[in-house]
Structures are given as C-alpha cells and as structure tokens.
Chain A
C-alpha cells in the first residue's frame, strides 16, 4: 500500500545549526509534496511545496529537496532558531487520487 513516513521521530539540533528532516514515500506516482509545521496545540502551517518536475525549491531559510529515484524528500532549515521547534509533517498526493497522505511527523527540538 501507499505510505509516507519520516525516518526519525525526534531531531535535536543546536540553535544556529542547520536542520535536515527526511521523509520517504512509497508511491512513485506521487507528483506533489508539501511540508507543514505544527506547533503544540495549533493547526499545521504550510511551509513549502514542490512538484515532481522539480528537484529543489527554496524559500526563506528553508529548502526542499526531492529525489524521485529513491522516493525521498527532505526539508532543510538554515540557521535553526528556537521558534523552529515544532513537529514537521511531509504530505504527498497524486493527481489521480486528489487526497493528501500525511507522514507521522518529526519533532524538531532546538537547544539554546
């Protein structure tokens, strides 16, 4: 079956370091991917997205990399700040299903 999963449940980084959060997906037909950030007790917030015709997309302090060969997605956060502490979810969808499938999430902890 289809699944979207994250390699590590918790990632702890030092403030100012770069963070890399990974996500594996199993459906090779997936053509759109999104990263969400969820702070405690709040709804997820859109961070960045990427379509399957791209390998890399950059935002403000964030970069998403897509490797379709190994079905791997990563979110890179530059100069991690305490405000980046949250749970990060990747999600995938395919144009023929129209349903987002969410991974279980990675908790990012930023140490001062």
Chain B
C-alpha cells in the first residue's frame, strides 16, 4: 500500500529538549509539507519542500527545523526555541505539477506532541 507514515503517534517533550517527528512517503511524490493543527483550528504551514535538498519556510517556521536528504523522508525537529509546541502535527505530500504545486495533498495520520 502506498501512503504516508508518521511516527510516533504520540510524543512527549521535556523542557529544553529537541524532538524529531518522522515522516516517510512511498508515493514517489516530489513535494512534502509539515502542518501544525491546534484544537479547533485550521492547519498552519510550518515548512515545505518541493525537491530533495531544498525546503522553504511556511507561515510559522520559528522554533522548527527540517531536512530533505531523501525524496521519501522529511523529518521535522521541534527545537527548544518553540515555546508552545503542544499540537497535532501533520505531514503531507503531493505531486509537484508546477502550476498547481499543492493540489491534492495526501496526509499522514499525525503526531500528537505534548509537553511534560
């Protein structure tokens, strides 16, 4: 089955700790994204990558970092600089068709991050 796998499902962060959320896709999609979702809120874009070894900041990139060393993988690190990290994090991917880069995002099942 093709899809997007996020792990872990639940993650706890201690004060001052960096944590990394995993996202892997086997859809052969070029573009990958990280979104943050707070309760009762829509999705806000953290980072996105349209090609390997390249990524761009989204609307709320402060306190987060990413890497895109492989087409299949786009891990997100929540650093200690992110003072309010508790949220549901969603990874997504899409085929980059140029004009409609973001169309038909396919989402993973999410990671719930909480602060201890």
Given known A103-B42, A104-B41, contact A43–B104 (CB-CB < 8 A) = no
- CB of B104 within 8 A of CB of A46, answer yes
- CB of B110 within 8 A of CB of A89, answer no
- CB of B45 within 8 A of CB of A43, answer no
Please choose the segment from A11-19, A66-74, A78-86, A93-101 that sits at the chain B interface, where 4 or more of its residues have CB less than 8 A away.
Answer: A93-101
Chain A interface, number of residues (Cβ within 8 angstroms): 22
Residue B21 at the chain A interface, CB threshold 8 Å = no
Residue B109 at the chain A interface, CB threshold 8 Å = yes
Q: How far is the CA of A59 from the CA of B102 in the complex (A)?
A: 21
- CB of B110 within 8 A of CB of A43, answer yes
Q: How far is the CA of A54 from the CA of B4 in the complex (A)?
A: 30
Partner of B90, one of A44, A99, A100, A105: A44
Q: How far is the CA of A48 from the CA of B6 in the complex (A)?
A: 24
Chain B interface, number of residues (Cβ within 8 angstroms): 24
Specify which chain A residues have a CB less than 8 angstroms from the CB of B108 in the assembled complex: 43
Specify which chain A residues have a CB less than 8 angstroms from the CB of B100 in the assembled complex: 32, 93, 95, 98
Q: How far is the CA of A97 from the CA of B104 in the complex (A)?
A: 16
Specify which chain A residues have a CB less than 8 angstroms from the CB of B109 in the assembled complex: 41-43
Selected A-B contacts with CB under 8 Å, 5 pairs: A41-B110, A44-B90, A46-B105, A95-B100, A100-B105
User: Could you tell me which B residues sit within 8 Å of A by CB distance?
Assistant: 4, 6, 40-45, 58, 90, 92, 99-110, 112
